[in-house]
Amino acid sequence: MDPIDAYQRYERAWNEPANAAALLAEAWADDGVYADDDVPDGLVGVAALVAFIVATHAELPDFAVWADATPRLLAGRLAVRWAGAGGEPRTTVGGTDVIEFNADGRIARVTDVLDAS
């Protein structure tokens, strides 16, 4: 899978929680890891990431994320500056994802460095 295609499926999964499992099925490695400041030990696998996405949407209704800069591919890793917003009152968040890929192009690890609040 092309890294940009994998990233686009990952981003769509955050914006379409009801379809997140299907979107991640081809783009996320079976043992793929998501880690950020709130889950520094990481979440392993599609089911754990989907549960996290669904919980985020429960906490922040109408949550949406988008790349706010062109993703950059460096040494086989993709760096994506992103922004997001949702909830009532509206909460905004942002950060930078550093995405690593396995040999077949699926996402093996996302390290999400959240912006300081």
Indicate the Cα dihedral angle 53, 55, 61, 67, nearest 10°. -20
Percent of the chain clearing pLDDT 90 (strictly above) = 97
Which residue ranges form the domains of the chain, and what is each CATH number?
3-114 (3.10.450.50)
d(CA 75, CA 55): 33
Above 70 in pLDDT, residue 117? Answer: no
Above 70 in pLDDT, residue 33? Answer: yes
> Largest alpha-carbon pair distance within the chain?
42
pLDDT tier at 52, thresholds 50, 70, 90 = very high
Above 90 in pLDDT, residue 87? Answer: yes
* Mean predicted lDDT score pLDDT of the chain: 96
d(CA 84, CA 97): 13
